[in-house]
Copies of this chain bind each other. A is one copy, B any other.
Amino acid sequence: MELNDRKLKILQAIIQDYIQTAEPIGSRTLTKRYDLGVSPATIRNEMADLEELGFLMQPHTSAGRVPSDKAYRLYVDALMTKTKNTNYQKTFIKANLLKKFVEVERLLQYSSKVLSELTRYTSLALTPQIKGNKLKFLQLVPIDSENLVAIIVTDTGVIKKPLLKITGGFDEASIQKVSNLLNEKLAGLSIMDIESQLIQELNNEIYKCNNIIEKVVPELFQTLERLDDFELFLNGTTNIFNFPEFSDIFKAKSFLSMLEEKEVIKNLVSTSDNEGITISIGNENCYSEVKEYSLVTATFKISGSSIGWLSVIGPTRMDYANVINIMGQISKHINQLLKKGNE
């Protein structure tokens, strides 16, 4: 049995209808709503075939058919007709996206908001661990007699500003020296490498700056360790209440609880490694918590390493065409800003 043109046409109609209505669709309704040129009985036979091929499922014997994950995959890869940018979208994006480059983190955070408002799904922004990033700049800024702020900038545009408390205090001149020394020694190294390499090198220089460095460096290590984490921003979480399948309180709870599992989300999203847009549908996701949802993820890179992700998450019957279109527009915008910021 093969997927002939008619089968594809029927499948496409079912998927589009289900994405719109969330209702299982039967042969008769299908013929009424779509001009397929054949009778319900024929559709029934084709549907039975499509079910056997694994593209359709029946919630129960006398219900209509529902697309499977396999069907959505086929839809996304081959059947889907791309949507065009609407004027509304263009205007909204123009009005709400940041116009100049600021920190990557903020850039993604704002974009995520726009994304969720335009798609009406839940959106999330993720910035990566900085462990693999190279240090571009480091400076220690004394703010009072006992506290320093360490300004850390990576080559991917992430800025951190941890507070270091140096018990016993310090004198500003020494801090200045230490700061210059660290910046000089560490710039260009990946954060991961710093810890091992630093101790070696600094041991040789330590005499130059009396004992301040002995106080500052361990504190800085601990802080780097703590800083080294993903940041996750969620937007439009209550959008799921717009979808009838979440009018069941258990479904809604499970979705929202899943979003609170930050670790799962982080791992899930950060597996997307190709620059551009990735789609993972239902069971294609390797975490059981997410097997009922789909993700459309845009990965952003600067010189080869990932600097952030933007995702839309929703039911598998997501309006893929629309989401991909909007995601594409926003990605384009972000990439332009990134380019400018990196010139």
- Give me the interface of A with B, judged by CB distance under 8 Å: 100-103, 136-137, 139, 141, 143-144, 149, 151, 153, 159, 161-163, 165, 237-238, 241, 247-249, 252-253, 256-257, 260
Chain A to chain B: the 7 pairs with minimum beta-carbon distance, closest first: A161-B161, A241-B253, A137-B143, A238-B256, A143-B153, A238-B257, A141-B151
Q: Give A241 to B238 CA distance when docked, in angstroms.
A: 14
Contact: B136 with A102, CB < 8 Å? no
When A136-B143, A151-B151 are in contact, do A249 and B241 touch as well, CB less than 8 Å?
yes
Q: Give A257 to B252 CA distance when docked, in angstroms.
A: 14
Contact: B139 with A144, CB < 8 Å? no
Interchain nearest-CB distance for A259 vs B (Å): 8
Q: Give A162 to B153 CA distance when docked, in angstroms.
A: 12
Q: Give A162 to B161 CA distance when docked, in angstroms.
A: 10
Contact: B100 with A163, CB < 8 Å? no
Interchain nearest-CB distance for A264 vs B (Å): 14
A163: which of B136, B159, B162 is its contact (CB, 8 Å)?
A: B159
Q: How would you classify the secondary structure of chain A's contact residues: helix, strand, loop or mixed?
A: mixed
Q: Which residue of B lies closest to A103 (CB)?
A: B163
What residues of chain B lie closer than 8 Å to A165, measured between beta carbons? 100-101
Q: Give A141 to B142 CA distance when docked, in angstroms.
A: 12
A149: which of B159, B241, B252 is its contact (CB, 8 Å)?
A: B159
Contact: A144 with B137, CB < 8 Å? yes
What residues of chain B lie closer than 8 Å to A162, measured between beta carbons? 102
A151: which of B161, B252, B257 is its contact (CB, 8 Å)?
A: B161
Q: Which residue of B lies closest to A248 (CB)?
A: B249
Interchain nearest-CB distance for A163 vs B (Å): 6
Contact: B144 with A141, CB < 8 Å? no
What residues of chain B lie closer than 8 Å to A257, measured between beta carbons? 238, 241
A237: which of B143, B248, B256 is its contact (CB, 8 Å)?
A: B256
